[in-house]
Copies of this chain bind each other. A is one copy, B any other.
């Protein structure tokens, strides 16, 4: 079983008002130096069998049709390497 991650974000030219509200709140909450915040969606797909080029193409198609609205959103598809640690810093 491999994990494929599809990230969906609003296109850069589309305003993200809630991300902006969070960004503007940060100094007051004690967090300086963050110039922009944008919020999107992350989908984790557990795929049976090998994730070869054909499988990735199909997931790309799936993302284009049912996970993202490509008029307003960009998306990326990638296989998550199990070896890469994603832990937050201690």
> Which residues of A pack against B, CB within 8 Å?
1, 7-9, 14-22, 24-26, 28-29, 31, 33-49, 53, 55-60, 62-63, 65-69, 71-72, 75-78, 86-89
Does more than half of chain A's interface fall in helix, strand or loop, or is it mixed? mixed
Chain B positions within 8 Å of A8 at CB level: 42
A68–B49 CA distance with the chains assembled, in angstroms: 30
7 A-B residue pairs with CB within 8 Å: A18-B18, A29-B62, A31-B58, A40-B43, A53-B89, A57-B89, A63-B88
Top 5 nearest A-B pairs by Cβ distance?
Answer: A25-B25, A36-B46, A76-B86, A21-B66, A42-B42
Please give the distance in Å from A47's CB to the nearest CB on chain B: 6
